Structure 1
Amino acid sequence: MTLVATLIANPARPAITDAVLAEARRVLRTEHQPRILHGEAAAELLVPGEAEAAPEFTEALRAALAGEPIDVAVLAHDQHRRKRLFLADMDSTMIEQECIDELADMVGLKPQVAEITERAMRGEIAFEPALRERVSLLKGLSVDIIDGLIRDAIRLTPGGRTLVATMRAHGAVTCLVSGGFTLFTGPIGATLGFDETRANRLAVADGHLTGAVEEPIVGAEAKRATVLELRERLSLSPADTLAVGDGANDLPMLAEAGLGVAFRAKPKVAKAARVRIEHGDLTALLYLQGFAAAEFAA
């Protein structure tokens, strides 16, 4: 088997110099010349070796390039490299904010709610009761504020639109699956171009939040179930699936996917995921699949 090592920097801070590539070739003990995917922002190297050696190569490369703002991953180079199903978390992944924290800001409770959110995403407290607790604090908030909140406070993570558009252009099905709320995933998913979305429903009466979230809650197991459901519907193998997220409630989804990526994730998630992206933007997920920047969809 042949492996492929991918080196990724943030396009805004390119760092993959000739010296970096030479060091990578030395550490990986490969004679193959690098394939440049995007200037000094992404490159890959073929590495002779079996799949079992990929984690060891990855760690060796991380150690050698520890002082550089570069993400690395060593994966199998096979027919499943380009994925046919893509699932993504929304908050702090496809967007840069946590929507529930921004809602709480409208009632002056952002610090309290954000602290609970952070603990839940780190896996320090259970997701479902933490969600119910936070939603209860939003009782009475008008749903009319949400369009303005999405417009003024929510920022798409760089590279997200390109990631979704490119995967769809190459035949992949895309799903935004969030522990957040349909009031956000609907418009944000449409803006990003996802085929479908899954999220929690906030209970509403007379145009205002009641402080309750409808059951069943979309938490960790629901995210994992979505991977299984879509994979079965599309008759795909685990190797054909890609998932990305940042919080503890994403771990079962990442583990179920053939390639699970922790994106600027909490420590527990970064440690558990097969691949972690800390420096690159969301186009990193395309480079991991062997796409060059020239192949990206507009």
Structure 2
Amino acid sequence: MTLVATLIANPARPAITDAVLAEARRVLRTDHLPRILHGEVAAELLVPGEAEAAPGFTEALRAALAGEPIDVAVLAHDQHRRKRLFLADMDSTMIEQECIDELADMVGLKPQVAEITERAMRGEIAFEPALCERVSLLKGLSVDIIDGLIRDAIRLTPGGRTLVATMRAHGAVTCLVSGGFTLFTGPIGATLGFDETRANRLSVADGHLTGAVEEPIVGAEAKRATVLELRERLSLSPADTLAVGDGANDLPMLAEAGLGVAFRAKPKVAQAARVRIDHGDLTALLYLQGFSAAEFAA
């Protein structure tokens, strides 16, 4: 069997130099020449070895390049490398903010709500009760502020549009699955180009939030169930599936996917996921699948 090692830097901070590639070849004990995916931003190396050796190679390469702003992953080089189903978390993954924290800012409670959000995403407290507690603090907020909030406070994570467009251009089905709210996933999912979106519904009466979340709540198990549902509908194997997220409520989804990626994730998630991206932008997920920058869709 052949493995493939992918080295990825942030496009704003290229770092895959000849010296880095030489060190990677030494650590991985490979005679293969690197395939350059994008200048000094991304490259890959074929590595002889079995799948069981991949985690060890990844850790050895990460240790050798410690201090460099480079993400590394060693994965199987097989027919399932390019995925046919992509599921993504929204908050702090496809966008840079947590929407509920931005809503709380509208009522002067952002510090309190953000602290609960952080603890929930770290896995220190259960997601569902933490969500209900935070939403209760938003009671009375007008839904009319949502469009302006998305326009003024929400920023798409770099590389997200390219990631979704490229995967769709190559036949993948894409789904934005969030523990956040449909009031945000609808417009944001459309902007990013997702085929489908799943999220929680905020209870609304007379144009204002009631402080409640409609059942069922989209939490960790619902995210995992979405992977299973879409995979069955599309008659795909686990190996055909890619998922990305940053919080503890994403862990079951990441574990269920053939390739689960922790993106700038909380420590618990980064430690558990098969692949972690700490430096690259979201196009890193394309490089992991063997796409070169020349193959990216606009």
Q: Shorter-chain TM-score category?
A: over 0.9
Deviation at 1:127, TM superposition (A): 0.2
Q: Deviations over 1:163-216 (max 9, x none)?
A: 000000000000000000000000000000000000000000000000000001
Deviation at 1:139, TM superposition (A): 0.1
Under a length normalisation based on structure 2, what TM-score does the superposition of the two structures give?
1.00
Query: Matched residue of 1:67: which SS?
Result: coil
Deviation at 1:264, TM superposition (A): 0.1
How far, CA to CA, are the matches of 2:42 and 2:63 in structure 1? 18
How far, CA to CA, are the matches of 2:15 and 2:295 in structure 1? 21
5+ long unaligned stretches in structure 1:
none
How far, CA to CA, are the matches of 1:216 and 1:86 in structure 2? 23
5+ long unaligned stretches in structure 2:
none
Q: Deviations over 1:18-70 (max 9, x none)?
A: 00000000000000000000000000000000000000000000000001000
Q: Deviations over 1:117-140 (max 9, x none)?
A: 000000000000000000000000
Structure-2 residue corresponding to 1:13? 13
Structure-2 residue corresponding to 1:246? 246
How far, CA to CA, are the matches of 1:95 and 1:192 in structure 2? 10
Q: Deviations over 1:144-170 (max 9, x none)?
A: 000000000000000000000000000
Deviation at 1:285, TM superposition (A): 0.1
Query: Matched residue of 1:75: which SS?
Result: strand
How far, CA to CA, are the matches of 1:105 and 1:195 in structure 2? 30
Structure-2 residue corresponding to 1:189? 189
How far, CA to CA, are the matches of 2:215 and 2:113 in structure 1? 21
How far, CA to CA, are the matches of 1:96 and 1:163 in structure 2? 15
How far, CA to CA, are the matches of 2:202 and 2:142 in structure 1? 12
How far, CA to CA, are the matches of 2:200 and 2:226 in structure 1? 13
Query: Matched residue of 2:125: which SS?
Result: coil
% of aligned pairs identical?
97
How far, CA to CA, are the matches of 2:289 and 2:192 in structure 1? 20
How far, CA to CA, are the matches of 2:180 and 2:37 in structure 1? 34
Query: Matched residue of 1:13: which SS?
Result: coil
Query: Matched residue of 1:144: which SS?
Result: helix
How far, CA to CA, are the matches of 1:75 and 1:2 in structure 2? 9
Structure-2 residue corresponding to 1:54? 54
How far, CA to CA, are the matches of 1:214 and 1:16 in structure 2? 47
Query: Matched residue of 1:250: which SS?
Result: helix
How far, CA to CA, are the matches of 2:275 and 2:145 in structure 1? 37
Q: Deviations over 1:77-127 (max 9, x none)?
A: 000000000000000000000000000000000000000000000000000
Query: Matched residue of 1:79: which SS?
Result: coil
How far, CA to CA, are the matches of 2:34 and 2:25 in structure 1? 8
How far, CA to CA, are the matches of 2:108 and 2:185 in structure 1? 23
How far, CA to CA, are the matches of 2:38 and 2:132 in structure 1? 44
Structure-2 residue corresponding to 1:261? 261
Structure-2 residue corresponding to 1:31? 31
How far, CA to CA, are the matches of 2:67 and 2:181 in structure 1? 39
Deviation at 1:218, TM superposition (A): 0.0
Residue correspondences, number? 298
Structure-1 residue corresponding to 2:105? 105
How far, CA to CA, are the matches of 1:51 and 1:197 in structure 2? 33
How far, CA to CA, are the matches of 2:280 and 2:161 in structure 1? 15
How far, CA to CA, are the matches of 1:274 and 1:136 in structure 2? 35
How far, CA to CA, are the matches of 1:67 and 1:246 in structure 2? 22
Structure-1 residue corresponding to 2:176? 176
How far, CA to CA, are the matches of 2:66 and 2:217 in structure 1? 40
How far, CA to CA, are the matches of 1:103 and 1:243 in structure 2? 26
How far, CA to CA, are the matches of 1:97 and 1:210 in structure 2? 23
How far, CA to CA, are the matches of 1:168 and 1:216 in structure 2? 29
How far, CA to CA, are the matches of 1:49 and 1:276 in structure 2? 21
- Ranges of 4+ aligned residues in structure 1 off by more than 6 Å: none
Structure-1 residue corresponding to 2:232? 232
